[in-house]
Structure formats: C-alpha cells, structure tokens
Amino acid sequence: MGKRIFLHAFCLAAFAAGAPFTAQAQTPAAPPAVISVTGEAHISVPPDLAQIDAGVTSEAKTAREASDANNTAMGKVLLALKGAGIDEKDYQTSRLSLQAQNSVARPGASPTITGYRASNRVTIRLHDVTKVANVIDALVTAGANDIGSINFMVSQASKLLDDAREQAVADARRKAEIYAKAAGVTLGAPLSISEEGAAQPLFRARMAVPMAAASVPVAQGEETLSITVGMTWAIKAAQ
C-alpha cells in the first residue's frame, strides 16, 4: 500500500513540475495513389476441329424388336464412318437407351405400353473440318435419323490464349499511360494483375443439322478467343 501511495505522489509531482505528458493516436496511412484499368484482347481464328453428335432411333412393338433393329441400323452407321476414313479412336458411343412408349391415359384408366423405342448415339471427332458435310451425308445415307448438333473447336487454344494475354496486358498499359498523361502523373510499378472471367477456347455456338441425304451446307465461321485483365499501377508526380 505504501508503494502505491509513493508512485501516485511521484506522478502528481511530475505533472505539477511541468513534465510533458502527451497521448498520441495512430492515424491510418493514406492509401497509395494508383491507376486501375482493364485491358482486352480478341483473337479470331478458324476452327480446326469439329464434333458431330449423331445416332439412330428405332421403334417396334417389342423391346427385342426395337433393340435388334437399332443394333442393325447402328452397325451400318459405324461401317459408314469407317468407310469415310474416320479412325475408330475418334468416335464413341455417347448414349444408349431403350424406353417403353405409353398410350395417353384416359380418365379412370391406366396408360398401357404401345411399343418400345431404342436409341444409340455416337460422338464423332473430326480433325479436318472440311469433311463435316461429307461425314453427315455418309451418316444419313447409312441410316442415321437423329443428327443432333455440331461443335467447332480450336486445338491450339492454349497457345492462342497466351498470345491474347500478352496483348491484353499491353492494352491495359496503353490505357494507363493515357490516364497518367492526362492527370499529369507518371506510372510506377504494376501492383496487381488479375484475369477477369474465364477464357472460352471452344466454339460456343451449336448448330442443328437438317435431316437430308443431299449435301449439307456447313459454315464453320471463326472462333473468337477473348481475354480481359485488370491491372493496377502505382503513380507518382511527374518530374
């Protein structure tokens, strides 16, 4: 108790003698001056890969009849693909189904099975997009009655996207320099770089193919690969 009284008395004496006594509050540091912009790049290239979805649908009174008819028809389709020069590793079964077909239910009565539908679909990958029309013709001629869609793709998309990334960064720097000049400042070091969104290397459009044995016109068009980056630079007063 004596020590506490002595310490209290010492503090009062120091205050009375004019000893400095200050309380300092830490102020938050001001955020750095920066310029933030986005850069974009777009590269258009013709697709060099194509994917065709096709198949055979068969209907019959019994499940066995529908399945047998479908197997026979699909066998002809696969032979046609082989005859068109398509390597076996470039096509595979994507869907196989056998479903009962029911009659329309009447009030007070349960629906009845009127037949069966068998379906077998195959996905074909073409490394030569100029063969798309010929392959479709071969499929239809062989008995394929369910041509779904075509997807066009770019095989070297990763390399092309890397080129687009470099262009997007250059575009961002160009914009930042314009803003810096207009504001009377100079660019410092880049503080952050981020890729916005997801690059899409696949051709996103899907086109339905008309069912016809005649030559099918197919327009492959071009694939546009796009990249957007966000960049932030430190800035300093112009010298």
Report d(CA 236, CA 230) in Å as an integer.
Answer: 20
Quick one: pLDDT at residue 216?
A: 56
Average pLDDT over residues 191-217: 60
Strand order in the sheet with 185-196: 34-45, 223-237, 185-196
Enumerate the domain spans of the chain. 32-48+155-239, 49-104+111-153
Q: List pLDDT tens digits, range 27-81.
A: 666 677 899 999 999 988 888 899 999 999 999 999 999 999 999 999 999 999 9
Residue range 93-97: mean pLDDT, rounded:
92
CATH 3.30.70.2970 fits 49-104+111-153, yes or no: yes
pLDDT single digits (tens) 156-180: 888 889 999 999 999 999 999 999 9
Cβ(206)–Cβ(151) under 8 Å?
A: yes
| CATH number corresponding to 32-48+155-239 | 3.30.110.170
